[in-house]
Chains A and B, each alone.
Chain A
Amino acid sequence: GENVEQHPSTLSVQEGDSAVIKCTYSDSASNYFPWYKQELGKGPQLIIDIRSNVGEKKDQRIAVTLNKTAKHFSLHITETQPEDSAVYFCAASKGSGYSTLTFGKGTMLLVSP
């Protein structure tokens, strides 16, 4: 089955810096790659996603890039703010039949003022 590796496990940045989180996946049939933000005591919140027919997608301070040949995708957050502090999860899905998401283990992002 699909396996998703996520790095780093923790990331500390200063407010205003950029943060990059990277994921690799194993199943070349995967074609949908969402990113979730999970704050303490809450469920994961979908913040951005990308499909395999697109190489990059941006939404304000957040961007995701996808390299299907290398089977990796990354989350980029620019101008980080303390409220960006949370655990971020990447996931992959084949989107056929039943559509399960396979998650990475998460990255704890800490943005210091």
Chain B
Amino acid sequence: ETGVTQSPTHLIKTRGQQVTLRCSSQSGHNTVSWYQQALGQGPQFIFQYYREEENGRGNFPPRFSGLQFPNYSSELNVNALELDDSALYLCASSRQGARNEQYFGPGTRLTVT
């Protein structure tokens, strides 16, 4: 088990609503990356946060946004939820100098109805 924690475990939302997912990074890690994993697929990169700033974004629209806090924890916010946003949302933490060596949390399962 990694030291990365995510909350909540499961979430059910209605189309058009907004959601906030939370992640606490492993001790000693200052970088957090968020991924979306659709059923039967590999994780897809959403964005990465380093020093409280977005440090790269994948092919996701602006309604996906995030924050990183001084303690390196992070939030993922999704506005105007769509049915296709239903997925497992994973956060991964890594340390400076090895930011691609990423350790994942258990994920948040989001269902949009």
Give the B-binding residues of A (Cβ under 8 A): 4, 6, 32, 34, 36, 41-46, 49, 89, 91, 93-95, 97-106
A36 closest partner in B (C-beta): B104
How many A-B pairs with Cβ below 8 Å? 74
Q: A98-B55, A99-B48 are in contact. Are A46 and B42 (CB under 8 A)?
A: no
Q: How large is the interface on B (under 10, 10 to 19, 20 to 34, 35 or more residues)?
A: 20 to 34
Q: Which 3 A-B pairs have the closest CB atoms?
A: A98-B56, A103-B42, A99-B100
Docked-complex contact A100 and B48, CB < 8 angstroms? yes
By beta carbon, the residue of chain B nearest A102 is B45
Binding site for A on B (CB under 8 A): 2, 4, 6, 31, 33, 35, 40-45, 48, 50, 55-56, 58, 90, 92, 94, 99-107
Are A45 and B104 in contact, CB atoms less than 8 angstroms apart?
yes
B42 lies within 8 A of A106 (CB): yes
Indicate the member of B48, B55, B100, B103 with the most A CB atoms within 10 Å. B100
